[in-house]
């Protein structure tokens, strides 16, 4: 067995907020995200599993923020992000992009200070009936997250033809895809563990495009 996939190997404490960006009952992305949570727990991670419906927010409006503050759904996501080391999102693809509800939620939560996506690791997953597996949506999701300073893991996992990709027990039916899925998540966990606990890894990080967010450059409208 690959040593990276040895669940008996000791691991420093790491925690993940794991949620599906789909609101649909019986969502393929929710099924995939549950499998991701299972892999994380199998390999020594602590998981906070969440549903998109827990983060219900109105359309972003700065006038509303100024007069009423943050809506409860945005506050809940912010609090749960700040209590975990890293993030994993399974996002559906709508019209070659990611859901507007998720973009709106990111817009709300990005207004908190400290801004919670900055320097936070994120893993992106998708399950889609299409042959592309939702990959175009994940590439579009990288844009706002990386703009906000998130360290989006380079290897994304897209499950194509997902309506027929799960077996009767809810696992990925293809042994090859199942192995790649687990390997991707374990490698991501290793990176989060190293960056969280080992100073030499922290020093190796540099900001995307050489930019370093400061109070002077944080977005104001």
pLDDT tens track for 85-118: 999 999 999 999 999 999 999 999 999 999 999 9
Residue 8 lies in a domain: no
For residue 174, give both structure tokens: 């293809």
Helix axes 100-109, 135-147, angle to 10 degrees: 10
Residue 154 lies in a domain: yes
Residue 167 lies in a domain: yes
Q: What CATH number is attached to the domain comprising 104? A: 3.40.50.360
What total number of domains does the chain contain?
1
- Is residue 1's pLDDT more than 90? no
- Is residue 210's pLDDT more than 50? no
- Is residue 195's pLDDT more than 70? yes
Tell me which DSSP letter residue 216 carries: T
Residue 4 lies in a domain: no
Residue 129 lies in a domain: yes
Residue 219 lies in a domain: no
pTM over the 0.75 mark: yes
Residue-number span of the structural domain to which 176 is assigned: 14-210
Alpha-carbon gap, residue 158 to 136, rounded angstroms: 9
Residue 100 lies in a domain: yes
Residue 5 lies in a domain: no
- List Cβ<8 Å contacts ≥24 apart for 98-101: 98/21, 98/137, 98/138, 98/140, 98/141, 99/21, 99/22, 101/21, 101/23, 101/52
């Amino acid at each position: 067995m690959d040593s990276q996939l040895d669940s008996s190997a000791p691991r420093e404490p790491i925690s993940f907020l794991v949620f599906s960006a789909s609101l649909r009952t019986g969502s393929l992305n929710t099924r995939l995200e549950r499998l991701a949570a299972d892999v994380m727990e199998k390999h020594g991670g602590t998981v906070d599993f969440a549903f998109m419906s827990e983060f219900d927010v109105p359309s972003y409006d700065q006038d509303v923020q100024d007069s009423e503050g943050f809506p409860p759904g945005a506050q809940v996501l912010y609090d749960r992000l700040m209590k975990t080391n890293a993030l994993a999102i399974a996002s559906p693809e709508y019209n070659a992009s990611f859901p507007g509800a998720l973009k709106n939620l990111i817009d709300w939560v990005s207004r908190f200070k400290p801004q919670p996506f900055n320097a936070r690791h994120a893993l992106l997953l998708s399950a889609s009936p299409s042959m592309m597996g939702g990959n175009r949506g994940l590439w579009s999701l990288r844009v706002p997250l990386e703009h906000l300073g998130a360290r989006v893991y380079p290897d994304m996992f897209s499950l194509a033809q997902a309506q027929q990709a799960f077996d009767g027990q809810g696992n990925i039916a293809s042994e090859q895809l199942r192995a790649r899925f687990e390997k991707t998540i374990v490698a991501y966990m290793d990176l989060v563990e190293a960056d969280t606990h080992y100073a030499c890894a922290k020093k190796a990080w540099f900001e995307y495009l050489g930019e370093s967010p400061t109070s002077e450059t944080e977005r104001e409208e």
